[in-house]
């Protein structure tokens, strides 16, 4: 009887892999492969017309760091993220305080009524 139970458990795993395999295939095809391709192409100077790739190693990254518009974009991103973080924390604290003081919506109990 134990052998039968073990055999049935092993068979169930085959069905699980069978059902999840299309999702894994599409995930790999549309997420993993493009991500790896992007990582590889970072180190090449790509010419789409002639379809020739020239190895440039870290030259692309050095050019990017010298570009003033890239530095400005990074600066703006950090400023935006900082202010959004501060604003979200402030709104969360205000709403928590409002809820704690008894500003609960109708039909719900405030902490004092429990």
pLDDT single digits (tens) 73-107: 999 999 999 999 999 999 999 988 887 776 655 55
Q: What is the DSSP code (8-state) at residue 67?
A: -
**Angle CA(73)–CA(75)–CA(78) in degrees, nearest 5?**
110
CA distance 46 to 28: 24
CB atoms within 10 A of CB 64: 13
SS3 label, residue 102: coil
pLDDT value for 86: 97
Q: What phi and psi values does residue 18 have, to the nearest 5 degrees?
A: -65, -40
What does the pLDDT read at residue 78? Answer: 97
Residue 17 binned pLDDT confidence (cut-offs 50, 70, 90): confident
Q: What share of the chain is helix, strand, coil (3-state, %, to 5)?
A: 75, 5, 20
Tokens of 96: 């928590």
| SS3 assignment, position 29 | helix
């Amino acid at each position: 009887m134990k052998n039968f139970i073990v055999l049935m458990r092993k068979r169930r795993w085959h069905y699980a892999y069978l059902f999840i395999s299309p999702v894994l295939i599409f995930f790999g095809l549309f997420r993993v492969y493009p991500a790896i391709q992007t990582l590889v192409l970072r180190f090449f100077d790509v010419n789409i017309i002639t379809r020739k790739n020239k190895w440039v190693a870290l030259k692309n990254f050095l050019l990017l760091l010298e570009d003033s518009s890239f530095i400005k974009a990074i600066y703006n991103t950090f400023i935006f993220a900082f202010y959004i973080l501060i604003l979200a924390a402030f709104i969360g604290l205000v709403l928590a305080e409002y809820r704690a003081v008894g500003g609960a919506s109708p039909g719900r109990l405030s902490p004092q009524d429990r």
